[in-house]
Amino acid sequence: MTFENILKSYKPTWEGERVKDISQRTTYLKVLVWPNVIIYPIILVLSGYIIVQSYLTGNLSEWNSASLIILFSCVFQINLPRMTFDLLIAQKMKSLKESNELKKEIEDTEFENFISGLTNKELFKKHMIPALLLILVAIAAIYTEFTESFIIWEYMRIPAAAVLLYFTIQFLITFKKLRNKLNNLR
């Protein structure tokens, strides 16, 4: 299988407008990813602060008013990793295209399996319980945002903290692995 076929097999959550030219695709993804890379840590730290503060003070009013911030954190957990992985792969394809190695055959099945493991279906299978918990937290946050009081939301602090921490760590680990594997291609 060629580098091009392996790298094109990655199907991100955020498809956006599929640009055929790899240079345009890379530019398009940079425009999407960089604002998110700046905003996401701020929202994540704010979410963590609200969760910890509501536990330390026992004041649920901060937690009850934080549903929108927690919802944004959940949305970023879904979109940012896929867009970032897509950007790394597009940048590698661009550099391989410039060096005329994109059509080169590769026998590395470990790399091929790693890239195919980044598809939405495989990631959901691998992280099914945390993904379902993330969906539950997001639904509870949406419901809390539209209602005055939602008694279950009071008990969502631990699941929200656990899910946000879990997916942030998984993103960082996968990002490092993907970057190392792409850098080792040649």
Parent domain of 138 = 3-9+20-183
Residue 29 lies in a domain: yes
Number of domains the chain is built from: 1
Position 15 in a domain: no
Considering only residues 166 and 66, tell me which one the structure prediction assigns the higher pLDDT: 166
Residues 20-46 have pLDDT tens digits of 677 887 888 888 888 888 888 898 899
Whether 96 is covered by a domain: the verdict is yes
| Average pLDDT for the chain | 81
pLDDT digits (tens, 9 = 90+) for 94-149: 887 787 776 666 666 777 778 877 776 777 788 889 989 999 999 998 998 888 77
In a domain, 139, yes or no: yes
Alpha helices, DSSP H only, in the chain? 3-8, 22-57, 60-64, 67-98, 109-116, 120-126, 128-146, 157-183
Distance between CA 92 and CA 113 in Å, rounded?
Answer: 17
Q: Residue 161 domain-assigned?
A: yes
Residue 156 near residue 140, CB atoms below 8 Å: yes
- The whole-model pTM stands at 0.82
pLDDT higher than 90, residue 166: yes
In this structure, what token pair is assigned to residue 154?
């009071």
- Residue 43 domain-assigned (yes or no): yes
Residues 134 and 71 sit within 8 Å (Cβ to Cβ)? no
Say if 14 falls within a structural domain. no
